[in-house]
Amino acid sequence: MFRFNTRSAYDEVNRAIQAKKFYATLPHKLDNAQEKWIASQPPEKTLVKDTETGTFGTDGWSISKTHTAFTDD
């Protein structure tokens, strides 16, 4: 079968090499971009307050959670 192509064999090989390099480095680039984006985000303001009374596993131990948006528990 005859195929018309204006690209030289060098161009075809060069494109294949460039594609392989691109896909080989892509996961690292995405991971770095994600870490950079996460680092640029402002810290979260937590609205939930945890209070632990006593020592875990002993009598009188309790844990409670309150939300700062509420005035009464």
* Residue recorded with tokens 């680039």: 29
Q: List pLDDT tens digits, range 16-45.
A: 999 999 999 999 999 999 999 999 988 877
Domain ranges for the chain: 9-67
CA-to-CA distance for 10 and 20, rounded, in angstroms?
A: 15
Its pTM stands at 0.47
Beta-carbon count within 10 A of 66 CB = 13
The predicted model gives 46-67 an average pLDDT of 84
- Which tokens go with 38? 């996460």
